[in-house]
Structure 1
Amino acid sequence: MNDRLSRLFPPQVWLKRYRRTTLIQDAIAAVLMTILVIPQSLAYAMLAGLPPETGLYASILPVIGYALFASSHTMAVGPVALIALMSATTVAPLSNGDPAVALGTSLTLALLCGLYLFAMGIARLGFIANFISHPVISGFISGSAVLIILSQLGTLLAIPASGANLPDIMGSILTHLERFNALTLLIGVAALIMLLAGRRHTQPLLIRLGLGESAAGLLQRLVPMVAVLVTTVATASAGLGDAGVAVVGVLPQGLPGLTLPSVNLAMLETLAVPAFLISLVIFVESASIAHRMAARRGERIDPDQELMGLGAANVLTAVSGGFAVAGGFSRTVVNDQAGAQTQVAGVLTAVGIGLVTVFFTDLFHYLPKATLAAIIIAAAVTLIDTRSARDTWRYSRQDGLALLATFLLTVFAGVIPGILTGVALSLLLYLYRTSKPHIAVVGRLPGTEHFRNEQRYAVETNQQLIILRVDEALYFANARYLEDRISEALRDHPAVTDCILMCSGVNMIDASALETLEAINTRLDGAGVRLHLSEVKGPVMDRLETTPFMRHLSGRVFLSTFDAWQSLNTISPDTTAANNSCFL
């Protein structure tokens, strides 16, 4: 029972070893995290189309909920740009511009995401993230980043800008362009330059001034708070709010009451699919961050625990007035660089944000919304991964086209069509690649027990014996290809009396492939060719032994291909010359 509880609640393990020195490290990290998270949280709430205070609410209880189940020691959970955008594009068409409806729908969406994630964790479906390939994820995130940037142009110009894709957003901006506010644009551009220049030059400057690399990198992450302070003071002292510069205004003090969002069947039906897709993105994005940080620290991540942690976080954000949350890369990096050792740092950060929410919201009254837009844009720029796109295109045209298609559809159709396309492309690419597995005619390397592709090596072969190595699981999508490939090989080798399928690369044979093998065995037997198997893996053999195929197999099953060669090689072998290489 104790082991089961320890697996379910990982803090039970590391809290036993928790020391005062660890608490001090976590507390220092929490102070720095609080400073970083507040402007980000306000900005991402605006990106989600919600009041700024919801960003603060989404940074308190969800962090604690995640900490209860998380296997990652340092990943920081809260509002992130990509999930905020997906939430906004899902909610906006349903709210018709009504802020109260938008908030209620966002809470319901977060609740559904939380339930999906937690249920997947209980069902141990952490492997589900593998259904989306990295190129597709890269294209989706880059396309979403473009939409995030475009969505903030309206705030920078102080004009309405709505839409879920590039044509809609640009159309809205062009329609209202003549109403833009020059002061708002000036503040937004100044904040953006400060953020981008600070990101690039702060660390090198501080290092030249004698600061350590780690400390300089940490201070560089706090540039957004500097931008917030400078533009807030400038706006307040110059009275720019009266000149048309939109500011955050009055933020309610105190914490919201805990309550379940109002849910009806029609809303659940509408949000069910978007919520699942958003849940998938939450997990994929968060898991990649958690694995990256764990690798640096020599730790191990349990994907199923991460699912439950993220699920608990989203359920708690739904009942506490926030919106959907995920693991954030920038805040996780700051958390790690600040010296955080455990999830206690996140809990203390939540306490710090809670104190700010209760006592100090007045400090943000004159914060320009254009500054928050600049923070969002600066964060989104880092999500556009041109290097990955270039490397992927060079390595694989198929993956490159999948990345490009996902990117373009995300930008021109929206994030939900984009991620749907991404999932579909990932599965289609897998089916395409495995539908034509590598099947090589192999021969024996002279003087050894090894068998290699006769197209690549100088190997011994025999006119009456052909060996085909299958380098893929056999299933419905490639069963016919196997049959065709064997037929081609036998046409090229008309004197063959024995055919060996070398199954060292086959880890599964499904019912369709088994039926095809039976047909191959029957056809070869009728042509006077015996079918043999070699190097069949144990789990595959366990299943084959119970089938009629094994009873009707015209040949034998050999433990190794060399055993089959010795047993069936009844005439002197020929030597087939090939280009020697190191490839299999």
Structure 2
Amino acid sequence: MLKKWFPIIDWMSNYQRGFLKGDISAGVIVAVMLIPQGMAYAMLAGIDPVIGLYAVTVPLLIYAIFASSRQLAVGPVAMVSLLVFTGVSSIVEPGTPEFLNYVILLALMVGVIQLVLGLTKAGFIVNFLSHAVISGFTSAAAIVIALSQIKHLLGVNLQSHDYTHQFILEVFQRVSDIHLLTFFFGITSILILVFLKKYVPVVPGPIFVVAFSILVTYFYRLDEMGLKIVGDIPKGLPSFSIPVANIEAFQVLLPTALMISFIAFMESIAVAKAIAVKEKYKVDPNQELKGLGLANIFSSFIASMPVTGGFSRTAVNYQSGAKTGLASIISAVLIIITLLFLTPLFYYLPNAVLAAIIIVAVYSLIDINEAKHLFKVKKIDGWVLTVTFFLTLFIGIEIGILIGIVVSLVVFIWRSAYPHIAEVGYLKEQNVFRNVKRFPEVTTYQDALILRVDRSLYFANMSFLESKIEECLTTRPVKWLILDMSAVNDMDAVAIDQLEEIMNVCKEMNVTCILTGIKGPVRDLVEKAGWNRRYEKQIDYYSVDHAIKELKLKENVV
């Protein structure tokens, strides 16, 4: 029971000495990576950079104790930071005490939502966010994130806009106001980060540009030449506190909290499962929700921001040798040491460098290949991705993903309302029944029409099935209508009633309707509806072949 609630007991009790070297190495490398990233993503969320460091202390420790993934690296991520800023800035002015309090409250709400989902084993809800929607939203959000850092990259105070095209227009109008030194620092940092990532991956790019830019700024006093720097970062650990909340604040933040909860979990579980498969252990989605939920709750208790597992950070953690959650514990301890003793070192860190780190980090989130793949395989999914992408980019983050979800659900309902129904015939060489359109050489029967229903039946698609049967019987009069139900996994009460009506209408037309291959769960339903008494001879066939043999139609072919 304890292992179920505290997965740390499991991996600690089975800890091997050979794991230690990898865990220490990964813990140190990820800590070095987390320092600039945490500060950068806090800035992206519109709050003090030090809060990003708070977010990679206690939350990491809590996640390591309660979560089932042993390699997932938790902390602030670009996507969540953008959602935080977008959601809270629409309510209160960034930079105010109220703004920070709302961010902290949002972390608490996200944590509670995820914890409740985990406790009630309701993690399946996130499955309703289709891959096409997430891919389109992520690609667009990556561009929005990059654009949000343009003001730090150019050294220009740009106004906030509701729409992306308005922001881009202002950038072009303010070209003459660009601070050249800031722009040089930002562009140079981007080039160095890209170069190191591609050609010298063993060198941690973010920490290199941070250290280099701090030294250059300090020795040449570039802050006196207009280069904006981080400035004073409070030394010491965050104090325990409980967010100030009221009903109104909960109501206005709830949509953002729900969105962050789902998207953050999907980002985490995707990478956690991928690594767990490689390491041959299981990740429990509901336990992950509990771990992330508690991490966010404790993040709010130390006056910090929402956190989740990051793709790139987790990849680095795994590639650096992390075998257990000890790597995350080591990272958290090193960040705590940094907060206690090393924060003055970041005084001269340019904001443009943090902006460069964010821009390079989110570039990989733009997935053009996925759009090409979806259009090639299933065009409707490609259009769902495209609609979500452009709505997110030009209308807004929240509207984009909400409409994307609605569109994907409409597509799902449309597909289920028009199920694939195929006329099948006998393929003698393989001794199977196949679609007559795909296999013109199949044998069909003069007095029997065989239709295969390839989806579960419910109230929304029964009219389509009825129309299809009517169309077929009108164009081709037969004595027997054989419905292959082997692909029907479920039916609702309306479907049972309407299917019964179809059988009665067929009887009036002197056509006997036969159902074959009915699965156990569906058979249980029709028996409850009394079919075993009224239609026993019409539903008691194991397969189409069984029905054909029983009806002695083998010789009656066309």
Normalising by the smaller structure, the TM-score range is over 0.9
- Is residue 481 of structure 2 the alignment partner of residue 499 of structure 1? yes
Quote the offset at 1:98 in angstroms: 4.2
Q: Which residue of 2 aligns with 1:479?
A: 462
- Is residue 374 of structure 2 the alignment partner of residue 392 of structure 1? yes
CA RMSD of aligned residues (A): 1.7
CA contact (8 A) 2:47 2:95 kept: no
Match of 2:538, SS state, is coil
- Which is worse superposed, 57-66 or 566-575? 566-575
CA contact (8 A) 1:142 1:383 kept: yes
- Is residue 341 of structure 2 the alignment partner of residue 356 of structure 1? no
Q: Which residue of 1 aligns with 2:275?
A: 293
- Is residue 198 of structure 2 the alignment partner of residue 200 of structure 1? yes
Over 3 Å counting, the alpha-carbon distance change for 1:53 and 1:439 in structure 2 is same
Cα distance in structure 2, aligned partners of 1:456 and 1:177: 61
CA contact (8 A) 1:72 1:294 kept: yes
TM-score in terms of structure 2 length: 0.96
Report the count of equivalent residues.
555
Q: Which residue of 1 aligns with 2:510?
A: 528
Q: Which residue of 2 aligns with 1:403?
A: 385
1:88-139 deviation line (CA, Å, top 9, x unaligned): 0001121223421111001111111111111111111222222122121110
Aligned equivalent of 1:187, options 182, 185, 188: 185
Quote the offset at 1:296 in angstroms: 2.4
- Which is worse superposed, 123-132 or 4-13? 4-13
How do residues 274-313 of structure 1 correspond to structure 2 at under 5 angstroms? Answer: 274-313=256-295
Quote the offset at 1:552 in angstroms: 3.5
Quote the offset at 1:163 in angstroms: 3.5
CA contact (8 A) 2:447 2:556 kept: no
CA contact (8 A) 1:156 1:185 kept: yes
Match of 2:127, SS state, is helix
1:321-354 deviation line (CA, Å, top 9, x unaligned): 2111111011101100110001111111111101
Q: Which residue of 1 aligns with 2:55?
A: 58
CA contact (8 A) 1:533 1:558 kept: yes
Q: Which residue of 2 aligns with 1:421?
A: 403
Over 3 Å counting, the alpha-carbon distance change for 1:52 and 1:187 in structure 2 is same
Quote the offset at 1:541 in angstroms: 1.2
Cα distance in structure 1, aligned partners of 2:77 and 2:473: 58
CA contact (8 A) 1:147 1:165 kept: no
Match of 2:283, SS state, is coil
Cα distance in structure 2, aligned partners of 1:316 and 1:426: 34
Q: Which residue of 1 aligns with 2:545?
A: 562
Cα distance in structure 2, aligned partners of 1:248 and 1:92: 21
In structure 1, what residue type is equivalent to 2:16? R
Percent identity among equivalent residues?
38
Aligned equivalent of 2:310, options 320, 325, 328: 328
- Which is worse superposed, 386-395 or 448-457? 448-457
- Is residue 73 of structure 2 the alignment partner of residue 87 of structure 1? no
CA contact (8 A) 1:67 1:347 kept: yes
Match of 1:528, SS state, is coil
Over 3 Å counting, the alpha-carbon distance change for 1:436 and 1:121 in structure 2 is same
In structure 2, what residue type is equivalent to 1:38? I
How do residues 138-287 of structure 1 correspond to structure 2 at under 5 angstroms? Answer: 138-161=135-158, 162-163=160-161, 165-173=163-171, 176-202=174-200, 217=201, 219-220=202-203, 222-287=204-269
Cα distance in structure 2, aligned partners of 1:471 and 1:536: 12
1:202-222 deviation line (CA, Å, top 9, x unaligned): 2xxxxxxxxxxxxxx4x14x1
Quote the offset at 1:448 in angstroms: 6.0
Cα distance in structure 1, aligned partners of 2:472 and 2:2: 57
In structure 1, what residue type is equivalent to 2:32? I
1:191-241 deviation line (CA, Å, top 9, x unaligned): 011111222222xxxxxxxxxxxxxx4x14x11111111111111111011
1:404-448 deviation line (CA, Å, top 9, x unaligned): 100000001111111112211221121122221111111222266
Over 3 Å counting, the alpha-carbon distance change for 1:227 and 1:448 in structure 2 is closer
1:547-569 deviation line (CA, Å, top 9, x unaligned): 14554337233122211111123
In structure 2, what residue type is equivalent to 1:475? Y
Match of 2:528, SS state, is coil
Q: Which residue of 2 aligns with 1:45?
A: 42
Match of 1:251, SS state, is coil
1:519-570 deviation line (CA, Å, top 9, x unaligned): 2112112111122111111112112210145543372331222111111234
Cα distance in structure 1, aligned partners of 2:408 and 2:552: 44
Flag structure 1 segments of 5+ consecutive residues without an equivalent: 203-216, 576-584
